């Protein structure tokens, strides 16, 4: 990656890292070490923000932080616009309305409008072969499933958390790229596209738009640096 590209990436990710870390500190530590550059912290923060918003309905404190993203300088590129629109959506939303939206989208009566799991998008069913492959890779990376975790590991929020931890732990970019290419890239853009156009989505349409733009950023970033 060129110096100019690095500076652009850092500028766009700067406020995201600060926004997500307060909400996800318990799940996603961001240790300060020589292996983790400022740019990597910004990437980890963006993944942490997606994880926080997709794991459960955000509380007011997180919404207040996300609303600050509305002040980011808008340029002609989609990522900057998506970040700003996410901030504006947070400004116009309340925890109560987002809670109802979250349940309609992801829980529902039996099933929500969307199914945020990799196996579903790749095979049309839950708990299929992609999940088994993911579990093997997570074990090789040293991740263990918590005893009180009920959802499969291929939930979009869980995968975002894994990426955030790989980055913040200073794992090689090649290892990050391998995980991204194997378990996120094949399906998550379709999920975010569905989210950005979901009938029951209002706030989460902005989350979907940000997700699309950030996945494209990650795809380009990892391909240029590995």
What letters, b where the CB count within 10 A reaches 16 and e where it falls short, cover 81-101? bbbbbbbbbbeebeeeebeeb
* Pairs from 188-196 (Cβ < 8 Å, separation ≥ 24): 188/118, 188/121, 188/156, 188/159, 188/215, 189/215, 189/216, 190/121, 191/114, 191/116, 191/121, 191/156, 194/114, 195/105, 195/114
Q: Would you state the pLDDT for residue 8?
A: 46
Q: Would you state the pLDDT for residue 226?
A: 74
Q: Would you state the pLDDT for residue 87?
A: 97
Q: Would you state the pLDDT for residue 25?
A: 32
Q: Would you state the pLDDT for residue 146?
A: 72
Q: Would you state the pLDDT for residue 17?
A: 53
Q: Would you state the pLDDT for residue 204?
A: 98
Please tell me the CATH code under which domain 3-225 is placed. Answer: 1.10.3480.10
Contact 27, 51 (CB under 8 A): yes
* Alpha carbon 53 to chain centroid, angstroms: 8
Distance CA 58, CA 42 (A): 20
Q: Which residues of the chain have pLDDT under 70?
A: 1-36, 147-149
Strand partners, 155: 117
Distance CA 70, CA 166 (A): 28
Q: Would you state the pLDDT for residue 145?
A: 77
Q: Would you state the pLDDT for residue 18?
A: 45
CA angle 130/131/134 to nearest 5° reads 90
């Amino acid at each position: 990656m060129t110096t100019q590209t690095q500076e652009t990436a850092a500028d766009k990710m700067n406020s995201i890292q600060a926004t997500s870390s307060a909400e996800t500190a318990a799940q996603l530590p961001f240790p300060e070490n020589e292996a983790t550059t400022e740019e990597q912290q910004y990437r980890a923060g963006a993944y942490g923000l997606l994880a926080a918003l997709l794991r459960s309905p955000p509380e007011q404190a997180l919404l207040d932080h996300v609303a600050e993203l509305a002040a980011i300088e808008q340029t002609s590129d989609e990522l900057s616009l998506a970040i700003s629109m996410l901030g504006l959506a947070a400004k116009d939303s309340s925890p109560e309305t987002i809670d109802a939206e979250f349940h309609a989208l992801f829980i529902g009566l039996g099933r929500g409008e969307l199914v945020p799991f990799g196996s579903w998008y790749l095979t049309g069913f839950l708990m299929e072969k992609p999940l088994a492959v993911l579990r093997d890779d997570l074990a090789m990376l040293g991740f263990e499933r918590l005893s009180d975790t009920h959802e499969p590991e291929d939930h979009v929020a869980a995968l975002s958390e894994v990426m955030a931890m790989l980055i913040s732990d200073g794992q090689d970019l090649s290892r990050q790229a391998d995980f991204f290419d194997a378990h996120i890239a094949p399906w998550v853009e379709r999920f975010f596209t569905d989210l950005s156009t979901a009938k029951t989505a209002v706030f989460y349409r902005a989350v979907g738009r940000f997700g699309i733009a950030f996945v494209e950023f990650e795809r380009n970033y990892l391909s240029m640096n590995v």
